[in-house]
Every structure is written in structure tokens, then in C-alpha cells.
Structure 1
Amino acid sequence: MRILVLGINYAPEIISTAVYTCGLAEDLAARGHDVSVIAAVPYFPAWKRMAGWAQGWRHERRGGVEVMHCPLYVPARPTGVRRVLHHASFALAALPVALWQAVRWRPDMVFVVAPSLISAPVGWLAARLAGAKVWLHIQDFEVEAAFATGLLRAQSCLGRAAMGFERWALRRFDRVSSISAPMVDRLRAKGVPGERLYELRNWANVAAVTPLEGPSPLRRELGISTPHVVLYSGNLANKQGLEILPEVARRLAHRADLTFAICGEGPMRDDLLRRSAGLAAIRFFPLQPLDKLSVLLGMADVHLLPQIAGAADLMLPSKLTNMLASGRPVVATADPATALGREIDGCGILTPPGDAGAMATAIEALLDAPDARARLGAAARQRAIWRWDGQAILAGLEGEFTRLVASAPYSAVAKP
């Protein structure tokens, strides 16, 4: 098959959606398919262009995949309106590339990753021109997440326009997928017919991320000497609920045996540094390269996964899969009935979103109970193998692509 992938985030970015879009494209190429990707110049999670990348179109061949990186507007402070402009600029820059690919290369499948939903019409139009099937994959519900985090107001003109655009987009794809069963259910509730839905989970790299038997060598490299480490690694953004972490560290300041390690970049970094002033136990580190992912995650005695209230069914943090694969328990802030809550059940402890006291109590309970830590960590590893194995997930996706491409043409366009 010829497969065109359209997604704003891609390698050389090393966290979040980029990891899965790149992994998907390179796996399909390794299975013998011709794969081409349209992505943005790398900017995430620092929200500035990566060093060495100019603001323009740039082609590269990476992992057996042809990749065209497109320019885009990258705001230093990504507010609601600026995020819309950011995503719209990528869609505009990607449009001529996608149309050219549709006419010249004629893909069999166009696979669109959201974020960025604003680029969905670009992928849909390219598919229609090429006579290809078109698939929309939802990594998170951007519009509702923007409401939940306060970036957009639901009743504002922009908020209403965003909801209308989402309804329009969801009705025009041959397949619409998301990363958890509750998120697929949410798509069904939004009017996507069941026969067009597919659950495409993010996956753990269970071969590369393995439980460490002894202390991680990264502790010494980063200058961490305390017996215990609790770790957050990933995007430092407002939808993560990270403002709770300095308060949790403050409540555990009496523990001289504990380091809070925060590894990441993003728009909340400066605010978190300000909130952490005077807290000796909390330390900030840059993102670590992918070849250190296993020793980074294995550095933790406990992983931290905060989420804001109302967001746990709008997204399933991509970092969760490899947290589980590392064989360490997770303390997350989520309701038990949410997608995140269901995945953590039996592999860690859930606490209410925003409750720093409850999170501190959960962390301390695990640090003081090595047998419970070991039991929950072993369960986390098994869950990663059973539910999140990348080879099984990607083999299933390839099969679904093959069936969809071989099926009858989609009946025009759903009525608005």
C-alpha cells in the first residue's frame, strides 16, 4: 500500500504524539509499504523551533519513510487563540504538499493524526483527489481539552466554531480511531457510526523499556543521591495538572530520603520553577534522549501522572505506556471510572485531581512499603505486555488498513 500520514508532530521530537506517529510510519515501512509523512518542523515540547531547523519546507528520509517538514507559526506562549493560529498555519503549509502528493503519488490511504484536527480537511481533500481511503486518528479531544484547561470558553464565538468544526470533521472519514475504549465511546456519542470506529492504542516499547534490577546509572549521572526518586517525565503543559507537584513536594519536605525529579520542557516550566523555589527536594532536568528512556524510567521508585479534573477521558497520556513497561507503580490523579483510572487500577494508586495531600499520602505509603511497590510494579509490567505490546497493535492496524483499502468506496460524504 501507499500510505500518506499527516500529523503535526514527528521525529526528531522525542515525546508525546511524535513518538507514536513516527513509530507507526516506520513500522508500516518495515512491513513493505510505501509511506510518506507530512509533518511540521520540530518544535515540541519547548514551543520553539529545534536548533538547526530553519523556518521552511525540508525533506528527509528517516527510518525508511519519506518525510516533508512544513513551516508553521510557533507561539512562545500558546494561548487559546495562538494555538488555533499555530495549527492553522501548519494546515496551510501542509496543503500544497498534500495536494501534490495526492495527484503525483496517489496514495491508497491517507492517515490524519489529531492533533492537529484543523489539518483534517487537508487530509480529507487529498484522499478525495487520490481516490484513497481516509482515516482520522484522535490522540486527544483538542476542543474539549481546551475548554477543560481554560484555553477556550465553550460559549465564546471561537469555542462554538471549534465544536462545529469538530462535528463536521468527524463525519467525513472512512475510519475514526482513538487510543482507549472510553475515548472511542466518546466518538460514538458524538455521532460517529460504530462500524467506522476503531480503537488504536498507543503502545509500550516492551523490548526497549525493561525493569531494572538495581539502581539506574542515570541517578549518578544526574547527581541524585537520595535513596528514593519519584519521577515525572514529559511535556510541561497546563493540561497535565502539574501545578500540584510543588505542593506535593512541600508536604513531603520532611523526607530527606526523597528526590522529586521533573524531566521535561514546555510552557509551564518557568511557572513550576517559581512554585518550587525553596524546595530542595524538587529538581528539574532536561528531556533525556530516547536511548536513555529505559534507565530514565527505571530511575523512579514511583511514577507521577497528574491530570486536571475533567481531562482524563479527553486524552490518555502517551507517557503511561512506557511507565507501565518500566515495572514501576504509578500515582495518578484521576477518577477510577475514567480511561486513565481503569489503566492504573492494580498498577498504582489513584488520588483525586488537585488533591496534593492525597497524592503526598499515596507516594509516602508506597515508599514505605517496598513489597507493595514490587507487587504493583510487576502488575504494571504485565499490563504493558498484555495490553500495550506494539507489535500486536501495529499488526492489527496493518490488517485493518488492508481491509479498508480493499472495501467498497465510501459513500460520498456524510450529511452535515
Structure 2
Amino acid sequence: MKILIYGINYAPEMTGIGKYTGEMAAWLAARGHEVRVVTAPPYYPEWRVAEPYAANRYTHEWRDGAQVSRAPLWVPSKPRGKGRLVHLASFALASLPLMLRFALWRPDVVFCVAPSLLNAPTGWLAARLCGAHAWLHIQDFEVDAAFKLDILRGSWLKRTALAIERRLLKRFDSVSTISGKMLERAADKGVRAAQLVRFPNWASTDAVFPLARVSHLKATLGIAPDAVVVLYSGNMGLKQGLDVLSDATLALKDETGLAFVFCGSGPARAAIEAACGTLPNCRVIDLRPAEELNELLNLADIHVLPQRADAADLVMPSKLTGMFASGRAVIAMASPGTELHDTVAPRGMVVPPGDARSLAQAIRALAADPARRAQYGDAGRAFAVASLSRDAVLEDFEAHLRAVRAARKSPVVDSAKTPALEVVRDAERQG
């Protein structure tokens, strides 16, 4: 098949959406598909374009079997409000010529990744121009999240943005997202059941696995061999609720047997460094190279996944898959009834969002109970292997791609037998 992938984030970004889109493209190319990608130069989560890439020119490269074309964009130093919108719009406009050009390539599927939804009109147009299947994959409901997190404000702006989003979603042939609750939200926005596909993020269980030894990074960071390490690794953005983790860290600053590691970049990093960076039991570090990912995730005795309550079920944190795959214990902040709560609760600890005191108590209790940590780690690893393996998720996705291509070439389609509907029905049966 000929597959055109369109999204602002892509490899070599090591966290978030870019990691998954890059791995998907590489996997599809390895399976013999022709894959082309229109994206931006890597800038996330640091919010600056990584060397040797440039923000002001078009570039082309081959990466892991896929032909990757990068459009210029403007990257704000502080990604808030109007600046973030201008950032997204700059890529949407700059990538338009590339998408129109690749429409002449006549792909079978145009696969658009949101965020950013501002790309969606161009992706839909390119698909219509060449008769391709238009597929929109939603990693975050960014419009809902932007207003709930006060990134954007104003009732008129909100009504307008939601109306545009609803119109766009209904125009795509397929709309996928990463969890059952997010499928329900897409349906509430007017997407028909026949359009919906569950396409979860996956765990690279071969690349991330439990180590039988202590991670080398413990000595590198000057952490005592017997210290219990509490790790947060990933984007340091607004929706993560990292202020709560900072407060919990301050509450436990005198616990000499604990070591806190914040690993990543983003708008919230400066506040974390100001609050906790000078504490003797805290380290704030940059993301490690991709080849050190397993060492990093195995540095943790306890992974912590903070989350703002007002972001519940608008996003499903992608970092959770790696936490489970590492076989280390997880503490997540989530409300009962959310998918994050239901995913973590059988195999980790869950505390209320926004409650630093409860988080500190959970960290203290789990740090003192190595048997319980091992039990949670084993359960998370088993879940990752059984339900989140990359090959299983992507083989199912590939089956969807083949089905939609066959459907477009067939004059009569029995929609009751399409894999997309089977996945939706399966999600409905599981609640």
C-alpha cells in the first residue's frame, strides 16, 4: 500500500506523539508498504528545533525506510495561547504545498495525526484530491484540553472551535483514537460508529524490559545505591500537573532514603527547578538518548504519573506504556471512572488528581514496601506484554488499512464485516 502520514511531530523526537508516529511509519515500511511522511523538524519537548535541523527551510530525508519531508514552522519560546496557535498554523500553512504535491503520488490512505487539528483540513483535502481514504488519528482532544486547561479562553472562541472540530471529524472516512473513553467522546462529537477505530499506543516490550541489575544511571546521577528512586520522565507541560509532584517532593525533602528524578523538558521545567532543583534528594535532568531509554526507565523504583483532573479522558498519557513495560511500580493520579484509573488500579497505585498530600503518602508507603513494588511491577509488565505489544497493535492497524483499501475498490461493501466496526463493537462490549 501507499501510505501518506501527516503530522507535526515525528522521529527523532523521543517522547509523546512523535515517538509513536515514527515507530508506526518504520514498522509499516518494514512490512513492505510505501510510506511517505510530511512533518516538521523535531522540536518537542524542548520547544526548540534540534540540530542539525532548521526551522526556516524545507528538507527531505529517508528515515527507517520512509521518505520524510519536513516543512518549516515557527516555534515559540513560551508555548501559550495565541503563540501556540500561531505555531500550529505556521506548520499547517507551510506543509500545504508538500501535501498537494504528494496527492499526485496517489496514496491509498492519507493518515493525519492530531494534534494538530489545524492540519486536518489539508489532510482531508489531499485525500479527496487523489481519491485516498482520509483517516484522522486523535492522540489528544486538543480543543477540549486547551479550554479546560485555560490555554485558550473565551466562550465565543470555544463555541467556534468546537463547531469547526465537529465538522472536521465528521468529514473523515475513519477517525481513530487511543482509548475507549476517547472513542466515546468522539461519538459525542458526532462521529458515526462506522467511522470509529480504536488504535491504542503500544509498548516496545523488546526495547523496554526489566533489568536484573541496578541501572547504570543511578551512579551517573550520584544517587546512593540503596535509595528508592521516584521518577517522572517525559514532557513537562501544563496538562501533566507537575506542580503537584513538586509539592509532594517538597513534602518528602527530608526522606533521605528517597531520590526524586525529573527527566524532560517543557514549559513547566523552570518552575520545577526553582521549587526542587536545589534539594539534595532531587535531580532535574534532560531526556536521555534513545539508546539509554531502558536504563532510564529502570532507574525508577517508582514511576509517578501526575495528571490534572480537568484533563481526564481528554488525553491518555503515552508514557504509561513504557512505565508498565519496564516492570517497575507505578503511581498515577486519576479519578475513579476515568480510563487512566481503570488501567492503573489493578496493577498499580492510584491517588486523586491535584492532591499532593495523598501523593506524598502513597510514595512514602510504596517506598517502604519492596514486595508490593515488585508485585505491581510484575503485573504491569505482564499487562504490557499481553495487551500493549507493538506488533499486536500495529498488525491490527495494518488489517484496518487493508480493509479500507479493499472497500474503496469494491462496489459493494458489507460494513458489518469490516474490522473497524468489529473493534468498535469490542470496545463497547468491554465498556
- Please state which band the TM-score falls in when normalised by the shorter chain: over 0.9
Cα distance, 1:82 vs. partner?
A: 1.2
Q: Identify the residue that residue 335 of structure 2 maps to in structure 1.
A: 335
Identity %: 47
Which amino acid is 1:162 matched to? A
Cα distance, 1:410 vs. partner?
A: 11
Larger % of helix: which? 2
Residues 16-415 of structure 1 correspond to what in structure 2 (within 5 A)?
Answer: 16-54=16-54, 55-103=56-104, 105-153=105-153, 155=155, 157-225=156-224, 227-276=227-276, 278-408=278-408
Q: Unmatched 5+ residue regions in structure 1? A: 412-416
SS in structure 1 opposite 2:53? coil
SS in structure 2 opposite 1:208? coil
Cα distance, 1:277 vs. partner?
A: 5.3
Find the aligned partners of 2:191 and 2:405 in 1 and give their Cα distance: 19
Cα distance, 1:252 vs. partner?
A: 1.2
Q: Unmatched 5+ residue regions in structure 2? A: 412-431
CA deviation string 1:326-375 (max 9, x = no partner): 01111111112111111111221111111011001111111111111111
Aligned CA distance change for structure 1 residues 329 and 319 (closer, same or farther; 3 Å): same
Which amino acid is 1:342 matched to? D
SS in structure 2 opposite 1:229? strand
Which amino acid is 2:402 matched to? T
Q: Note if contact 2:12-2:22 (Cα within 8 Å) is conserved in structure 1.
A: no
Q: Identify the residue that residue 427 of structure 2 maps to in structure 1.
A: none
Find the aligned partners of 1:222 and 1:289 in 2 and give their Cα distance: 15
CA deviation string 1:217-238 (max 9, x = no partner): 1111222225210000000101
Find the aligned partners of 2:17 and 2:408 in 1 and give their Cα distance: 31
Find the aligned partners of 1:154 and 1:292 in 2 and give their Cα distance: 43
Find the aligned partners of 2:356 and 2:265 in 1 and give their Cα distance: 22
Find the aligned partners of 2:213 and 2:337 in 1 and give their Cα distance: 35
Q: Note if contact 1:111-1:134 (Cα within 8 Å) is conserved in structure 2.
A: yes
Which amino acid is 1:266 matched to? G
Q: Identify the residue that residue 7 of structure 2 maps to in structure 1.
A: 7
Find the aligned partners of 2:140 and 2:80 in 1 and give their Cα distance: 18
Cα distance, 1:268 vs. partner?
A: 1.1
Find the aligned partners of 2:328 and 2:311 in 1 and give their Cα distance: 24
Aligned CA distance change for structure 1 residues 410 and 238 (closer, same or farther; 3 Å): farther
Which amino acid is 1:367 matched to? A
Q: Note if contact 2:277-2:284 (Cα within 8 Å) is conserved in structure 1.
A: no
Cα distance, 1:279 vs. partner?
A: 2.5
Find the aligned partners of 2:277 and 2:310 in 1 and give their Cα distance: 29
CA deviation string 1:127-178 (max 9, x = no partner): 00111001000000001111121101251x3322221221111011111000
Q: Note if contact 1:204-1:325 (Cα within 8 Å) is conserved in structure 2.
A: yes
Aligned CA distance change for structure 1 residues 20 and 404 (closer, same or farther; 3 Å): same
Q: Identify the residue that residue 414 of structure 1 maps to in structure 2.
A: none
Aligned CA distance change for structure 1 residues 254 and 40 (closer, same or farther; 3 Å): same
Cα distance, 1:280 vs. partner?
A: 2.2
Find the aligned partners of 1:264 and 1:410 in 2 and give their Cα distance: 48
SS in structure 1 opposite 2:171? coil
Aligned CA distance change for structure 1 residues 257 and 207 (closer, same or farther; 3 Å): same
User: Which of 246-255 and 282-291 deviates more?
Assistant: 246-255
Cα distance, 1:276 vs. partner?
A: 1.8
Q: Note if contact 2:5-2:111 (Cα within 8 Å) is conserved in structure 1.
A: yes
Aligned CA distance change for structure 1 residues 375 and 277 (closer, same or farther; 3 Å): closer
SS in structure 2 opposite 1:346? helix
Q: Note if contact 2:277-2:283 (Cα within 8 Å) is conserved in structure 1.
A: no
Find the aligned partners of 1:153 and 1:107 in 2 and give their Cα distance: 38
Which amino acid is 1:294 matched to? N
Which amino acid is 2:271 matched to? D
Q: Identify the residue that residue 414 of structure 2 maps to in structure 1.
A: none
Q: Identify the residue that residue 423 of structure 2 maps to in structure 1.
A: none
Cα distance, 1:42 vs. partner?
A: 1.0
Which amino acid is 1:345 matched to? A
Find the aligned partners of 2:167 and 2:190 in 1 and give their Cα distance: 11
Which amino acid is 1:212 matched to? L
Cα distance, 1:12 vs. partner?
A: 1.6
Which amino acid is 1:314 matched to? L
SS in structure 1 opposite 2:11? coil
Scaled by the length of structure 1, what TM-score is found?
0.96
Find the aligned partners of 1:337 and 1:106 in 2 and give their Cα distance: 43
Find the aligned partners of 1:371 and 1:291 in 2 and give their Cα distance: 30
SS in structure 2 opposite 1:171? helix
Q: Note if contact 1:110-1:132 (Cα within 8 Å) is conserved in structure 2.
A: yes
Q: Note if contact 1:336-1:345 (Cα within 8 Å) is conserved in structure 2.
A: no
Which amino acid is 1:87 matched to? L
Find the aligned partners of 2:210 and 2:148 in 1 and give their Cα distance: 35
Find the aligned partners of 1:329 and 1:147 in 2 and give their Cα distance: 33
